[in-house]
Amino acid sequence: MSEGNGMKKSIRVAVTGAAGNIGYALLWRIASGDCFGTNQPVTLQLLEIPPGMQRLDGVIMELKDSAFPLVHGIVGTDEPNIAFKEADAIFLVGSRPRTKDMDRSDLVAANGPIFVGQGKAIDAVASPNVKVITVGNPCNTNALIACANAPSIPSRQFTAMTRLDQNRAVGQMAERAGVSASKIHDVFIWGNHANTMYPDPRFGTVDGKIATDVFDREWLQGPFLDTVATRGKAIIVARGASSAASAASAATDHMRDWWQGSNGRIVSMALPSEGWYGVPEGLVFSFPCRCENGDVIVVEGLPVDSFAQSKIDENVAVLLEERDAVSELLGN
Ligand code: NAD
Ligand code: LMR
């Protein structure tokens, strides 16, 4: 809806963990129009826990000092029912990151319960059309928990982020081929945001050429796959902190494509399976997707070879284990 000057009616965008490292990069991308468009005003509804509220005050001061024309209002709160009130888009970031001696799944006990209360609050007060991206780890299973606790919101509106993994795959291919990332298309991630993920090169193109003709199988199934799958840990070891700017960038890409369309490109999104590719219903699994008219459409019917099938099966097994581990948080 336009307000007459090309500007649309303001939307409400909630970000949890807004005073954290990802929040600090993400809020500036949203506020500048990178996500929802440069003619789309936003009201930012920022959630923290009480120990984070003073840092959040500082972040809000800096947002105000950035004088973004698209920011029509900013709310900072430690109350999920206020942060999610009538929200059109929600970034579930707030949760603990892992340290270098942990796997992402080790966070499920610490972070899983957060998504029970937040799922219930989304159910109670968010827009019925809300689009939710879960970034906090383990993000697939946290999205499952939030979705299960928000029964009035269609499950397709709950997603988890594997776009960072896709972007890492694109970055690796671009570097090896000596081309810019803009020349790589339709490489995507199957499965869980975990070391088992499968960056599938088989439908990808590199400057118009088939990716599997450009790169040899030894690299694609060896160093390429390993680098993408373990990149999060490599960054924690190198930086002493988990990826933040690249994660915020990927969250921007994910929500931008969902909101504005992926222009026919295949993108990676994890969402509750409706049985696609034999993945059990309800598991939050990353599939090849296209985004059109505000909807996520899983690309069905792609051929699955034996290697891809073994990776899909491995991810299903891990996600079933994670689901069992949080069964008491699923509300049934
Ligand atoms: P951080 O510790 O810098 O910030 C997290 C913030 O969340 C803190 O300010 C904390 O106070 C807040 N928080 C904690 N519990 C909360 C709750 N219940 N409600 C609202 N806020 C809460 O961490 P970060 O670097 O911003 O990372 C956040 C999460 O994102 C971690 O779980 C990390 O592992 C994950 N992550 C995921 C991906 C991905 O690709 N899916 C990539 C990077 C990081
Ligand atoms: C990442 O992939 O960078 C994040 O999920 C952080 C992590 O723990 O690996």
pLDDT tens digits, one per residue of 192-202? 999 999 999 99
Which residue has a Cα nearest atom 2 of ligand 2? 232
Q: Are 154 and 225 within one domain?
A: no
Q: Are 136 and 202 within one domain?
A: no
Using pLDDT thresholds of 50, 70 and 90, give the confidence band for residue 291.
Answer: very high
pTM of the model: 0.98
Q: Is the peptide bond before 138 cis (omega within 30 degrees of 0)?
A: yes
Please tell me the distance between residue 108's alpha carbon and the centre of ligand 2 in angstroms: 14
Question: Is the pLDDT at 4 greater than 80, yes or no?
Answer: no
Instruction: Round to whole Å and give the CA distance between 115 and 121.
Output: 10
Long-range pairs, 224-228, Cβ under 8 A, ≥24: 224/169, 224/172, 224/173, 224/176, 224/199, 225/198, 225/199, 227/168, 227/172, 228/165, 228/168, 228/169, 228/172, 228/197, 228/199
- The CA dihedral of 69, 73, 76, 79, to the nearest 10 degrees, is -140
Q: Are 103 and 126 within one domain?
A: yes
What pLDDT sits at residue 105?
Answer: 86
Q: Are 197 and 109 within one domain?
A: no
CB of 247 sitting under 6 A from ligand 1 = yes
User: Exactly one of 72, 185, 193, 254 is catalytic; which is it?
Assistant: 193
72 catalytic per annotation: no
Q: Supply the range of the domain harboring residue 284.
A: 163-325
What pLDDT sits at residue 332?
Answer: 61
Average pLDDT over residues 145-157: 98
| 281 assigned to some structural domain | yes
Q: Mutation test of ligand 2: which of 93, 104, 165, 237 has the most ligand atoms closer than 8 Å to its C-beta? A: 104
| 267 assigned to some structural domain | yes
Please tell me the distance between residue 136's alpha carbon and the centre of ligand 1 in angstroms: 5
CB of 138 sitting under 6 A from ligand 1 = no
| 330 assigned to some structural domain | no
Nearest alpha-carbon partner for 113 in 95, 89, 98, 126: 95
| 273 assigned to some structural domain | yes
Q: Are 321 and 172 within one domain?
A: yes
Q: Are 199 and 248 within one domain?
A: yes
| 332 assigned to some structural domain | no
Q: Are 187 and 207 within one domain?
A: yes
Q: State the average pLDDT for the chain.
A: 97
Please tell me the distance between residue 221's alpha carbon and the centre of ligand 1 in angstroms: 31
Q: Which CATH number fits the domain that encloses residue 64? A: 3.40.50.720
Q: Are 21 and 152 within one domain?
A: yes
Using pLDDT thresholds of 50, 70 and 90, give the confidence band for residue 3.
Answer: low
How many domains does one find in the chain?
A: 2
